[in-house]
Amino acid sequence: MSPSRTVRVETDGALATVTLARPDKRNALTRDMLEELGAALQSLADDPGIHAVLLRADGPAFCAGVDLGVLRELAGAAEDVFRTFVDLAQRPYRLLATMPKPTIAAVQGHALGGGFQLALACDLRVAATDASFAMLEARHGLIPDLGGIHHLARIASPAAAKDLIWTARSIDGAEAHRLGLVDRLTDPAALDDAARALAAEILAHSPTAVALVKGLVTRTFETPLVETFGHEADAQAEALRESLDG
């Protein structure tokens, strides 16, 4: 693949910062951008020296969602062409949610549609007070298909997911924080510092333990309590071995 033009990756020790870099288009996601983002995240997921990933964006908006030009292209596409694009588009969302490393989104301005879902795919979200969030798919007769329904229902509630998706209404940072969709709210000028400070708090602890907790929490809604005890015991044994070896 040629060097990325729309996604920038920088590393500082064990922290990797991935920046959406199409500010003139409010970081709307094109086919190339989704491919570049997926490739960058896969590389970071596979890198043993990276223990946390921070997702941020250049410009006044976090992400305006999938570029409307892409949606117009898909409107008359054959089923196999559509499915190929969906696989491409879902890849970065899946990686953010499932890589065995904490992922943090730093959100300013608009996070709309696919942009909202991109933030939801991360483990934690730090948002500026000027942030706004909306699932706009209903306005186009569509549904969120990048994991947003799954995350909204689990992070907030099934009713909140239906409300936000059915009405396509916008919520500000304060309401998102009240719903649990934002973990930390901060002044816009302090957003990057706040997100990096949160990452530093996490990086201060065992990456093995952090990864094990991510896996356990992810499976919580699908695993009965009695079975969870067994998974926790296995994870604790692995964490203890790592601690003793260190």
- What positions carry a catalytic annotation? 137
Handedness of CA 19, 23, 28, 32 (dihedral sign): negative
- Relative to beta strand 184-186, strand 124-128 is parallel
**The token pair that represents 79 in the structure block:** 């089923």
**The token pair that represents 76 in the structure block:** 């008359």
189-212 per-residue burial string, b: 16 or more CB within 10 A, e: under 16:
eebbebbbebbeebbeeebbbbbb
CB 168 within 8 A of CB 125: no
How many residues make up the chain in this entry? 246
**The token pair that represents 232 in the structure block:** 């926790």
CA of 156: how far to CAs of 34, 130, 159, 164, 180, in Å?
26, 20, 8, 11, 6
Which burial class, exposed, middle or buried, applies to 33 when counting CB atoms under 10 A from its CB (0-12, 13-18, 19+)?
Answer: buried
The per-residue DSSP string of 193-230 comes to HHHHHHHHHHHTS-HHHHHHHHHHHHTGGGS-HHHHHH
